[in-house]
Structure 1
Amino acid sequence: MTVPRRPATMADVAARAQVALSTVSRALNGRPGVSPAQAERIRAVARELHYAVSPAASGLVTGRSGAVGVLLPHIDQWFHSTALAGLEDALRGSGLDVLLYRAESAADRAAFFQSLPFRRRVDALVVIAVSLTAEESSALSGHGVPVVAVSSRIPGAPFVGIDDGAGAAGAVRHLTNLGHRRIAVIRSTNATGSFGSASTSRFAGFRQAMEERKLPVPPEYVVSAPWGMEGGSEAMAALLSSADIPTAVFTESDEVAIGALRTLRRSNLVAGRDISVMGFDNHSMADLMDLSTVAQPVREQGRIGGQMALEAMETGSVEQPETVLPTRLIVRGTTAAPGAE
């Protein structure tokens, strides 16, 4: 019977390289105190022995866990998965693991902030598109773990995102420049507050643009619905039942807009001819739906958030703690002048 060979240990590497155990630890973990030539020789021995650094053992020496935590409300929705891909782009090659904490329901969220499971498990925490209360923001501080905010701000934390209000205002100005005067808005809500700050800022941008043109916003032109296609479908149905149907609708996300387009199609109405529809995000389905929208660089936000986390872990701070990326208006077939054929 063949006896399996035991895995090589750091002591084996030290013995083969004829150096102290502490020297091997410094070389393999990239810490100072070892010359480049000696470090490369130790790494060569480690490769020869098929030795892999144990994150747990390394953590005992460095005081680090070797992981970055990510708090997000969803894993399977477009924005969050795209931002997560960008964050992984930044962390790839760093040797760090990613631990996901999903707070999709109110119960999930309450459990997370009650137990704070990231403590002693991660070296940084990245929060993606979760609008936190003051109490929740305070709960994340004081644990020796840097926190980075992507898309939604957290007081005192480095932030990367967009100017949601400016993007929304630009979208509504596009509609008014086409000649629309009766413009409705579909606001987006979520039980766990996942999209609260974006919704608030985009609605403020909508109101700002309407006030600039001195256009009224009747109460029936402001419809709230759950974030997503079903919510958009229901909200558009409500707008179509208005006594004075709007000629254009601004929605706070493309997913909401796609649901609104479905209701129009089922009502034998054509977007861009009967009613203009404007989205926000440039979702991966927006081009297929020929949806006019405001594009935001989602993957880039995740990538910069990952870079911020790495910088905070290495230096204790972030040199540029706020990055606001530009949006751009994309005009497609769902917006046109009122009555356009």
Structure 2
Amino acid sequence: MVSLDEVAQAAGVSPATASRALSGRGHVSPATRQRVSDAAEQLGYVVSSAASTLASGRSRSIGVMIPDLHRWFFNTVLTGISDTLTRSGYDLTLYNVTGDVQLRREIFRAFLRRRRVDGVIVIALELDAWETQQLKDLGLPVIVLGGSLPDLPSMAIDDRAVTQLATEHLVALGHRHIGYIGGEAAFDVDYHVPSRRREGFLWGLRQHGITPDESLVQEADFTIAGGYAAAKQLYGSPANQMTALVAASDEMAIGALLAARDLGIAVPQQMSVVGIDGHELGGLFQLTTVDQQPASQGRTAAEHMLRRVESDEEFTIDLPYTLLVRGSTAAPTHSVPSSD
């Protein structure tokens, strides 16, 4: 096995300088860092994580707690975190925290302590008092992304504001009969995102003197298939005069676009559709959306975590979001035909 001394000799530097160059800690000129890196690569040297931990007191690993591994949004946030940590020489330790009470207890009681990490990023999980205290007792930096926990640094978008922005975009175009596809009650557990987004939709209407019509509201499961089924229910009512639709996620909005296509409803001439998220498929469907920049959220959380590993700053950050106007919205021109 190649030693650090051999790398230092090949690069023409001291072992201490070689260590600083490879660890990324301490001052080393860019030219020297590159020379040491080239020597290490040529010799096939790999930094010992155990030795690095002993020398620095850090594991160079960040724990990430996530509620669902299968949803596009969480995967995109995770990609942003992983890319940032990797570029800084850190590993990622993933904890899938489901609704299973026994499994959750085991994660907080044993798993977090069993594998040493330098900090923990909690994504969109609303923890109870015991779980929150377990995190605090670790004595490590913790960042909450997508919500807030008592006395812990947090960053999140304003879930009311994003749907209000989407709704007011349609109102500004001249729409007055606007439908809504929101999240089902099962998704209202952590930070009540469905409730907050529905409140933003209703507030966006009332701010402009429009009385919400409950018959134009459907619930779904944040998937394309769920959005498709909910939109067909809304489109199929011969009584409503709906000319526009806000969906609480881009996937549900894409489902609404597919339902409109199957029913012969022209978008945006007869039906305008707005989503929330900034989904990677949005451009393909020309979907107008409020982009909450999930990959950027992940990068921001990771960058702040790396800073907190070095310091102890406290913060609360409101994450940015942007209205992206594409081809799925326009001023109302025709009423929607019945599907009968």
- TM-score, normalised with respect to structure 1: 0.80
Offset at residue 67 of structure 1 (A):
0.7
Identity among equivalent pairs (%): 33
Distance 1:273 1:133 in 2: 48
Tell me which residue corresponds to 2:210.
215
Residue segments in structure 1 that go unaligned for 5+ positions in a row: 1-6
Q: 1:248 aligns with which of 244, 260, 265?
A: 244
Q: In structure 2, what is the equivalent of residue 154 of structure 1? A: 149
CA–CA distance in 2 between the matches of 1:331 and 1:248?
14
How far apart in 2 are the matches of 1:182 and 1:289?
23
1:173 paired to 2:165: no
Question: Structure 1 residues 171, 338: CA separation in 2 closer, same or farther (over 3 Å shift)?
Answer: farther
Instruction: Indicate conservation of the 8 Å contact 2:10/2:39, yes or no.
Output: no
Work out whether 1:286 is the aligned partner of 2:282: yes
- SS at the partner of 2:136? coil
- In 2, distance between residues paired with 1:155 and 1:330? 37
CA deviation map 1:224-266 (0-9, x unaligned): 2111112111211222344632222111111011112222222
Deviation string 1:267-299 (CA, Å, 9 cap, x unpaired) is 222232333221112211112112222122222
Q: Aligned partners of 2:237 and 2:191: how far apart in 1?
A: 26
Matched, 1:336 2:327: no
Cα offsets for 1:118-177 (capped at 9, x unmatched):
334211112233344555444432212212222333333333333332221121112122
| Structure 1 stretch displaced more, 241-250 or 271-280 | 241-250
> CA RMSD, aligned part only?
3.7
Note closer, same or farther for the CA distance 1:65–1:267 as it changes in structure 2 (3 Å cut).
same
* 1:299 and 2:299 are equivalent in the alignment: no
Is the partner of 1:118 in helix, strand or coil? helix
Q: Is the partner of 2:273 in helix, strand or coil? A: strand
Residue 184 of structure 1 is matched in structure 2 by 179
**In structure 1, what is the equivalent of residue 106 of structure 2?**
114
Structure 2 unaligned runs (5+)?
none
Contact 2:175–2:331 (CA under 8 A) maintained in structure 1: no
Match of 2:256 in 1: 260
Pair 1:67-2:61 in alignment: yes
Partner Cα distance (1:297, 1:101) in 2: 23
Instruction: Please name the residue that 1:200 is paired with.
Output: 195
Counterparts in 2 of 1:175 and 1:133: CA distance versus 1, 3 Å: farther
TM-score by length of 2: 0.80
Q: Which residue of 1 aligns with 2:81?
A: 87
* Equivalent residues of 2:175, 2:244 under 8 A apart: yes
Structure 1 residue 330: Cα displacement: 1.6
Distance 2:132 2:179 in 1: 33
CA distance in 2, matches of 1:29, 1:9: 15
What is aligned with 2:305?
309
- C-alpha change, 1:45 and 1:258, in structure 2 (3 Å) is closer
Shift of 1:321: 4.0
- CA shift in 2, pair 1:30/1:209, >3 Å: closer
Alignment partner of 1:8: what SS?
coil
2:96 to 93, 97, 102: 102
* 1:4 corresponding residue in structure 2: none
Q: CA deviation at 1:112?
A: 3.5
**1:268–1:31: structure 2 CA closer, same or farther, 3 Å change rule?**
closer
Query: For the structure 1 residues 45 and 198, does the alpha-carbon distance in structure 2 shift closer, same or farther, using more than 3 Å as the test?
Result: closer
CA spacing shift, 1:277–1:53, aligned 2, 3 Å = same
1:39-82 per-position Cα deviation (integer Å, ceiling 9, x unaligned): 97x95898386543211222233222221122223445332232
Greater mean deviation of Cα atoms: 330-339 or 92-101: 330-339
Q: Please say if residues 147 and 158 of structure 1, whose CA atoms lie closer than 8 Å, have aligned partners that are also in contact.
A: yes
State the Cα distance separating 1:206 from its structure 2 match. 0.9
Number of equivalenced pairs? 330
Q: Is the 8 A contact 1:159 1:322 kept in 2?
A: yes
CA–CA distance in 2 between the matches of 1:239 and 1:35?
63
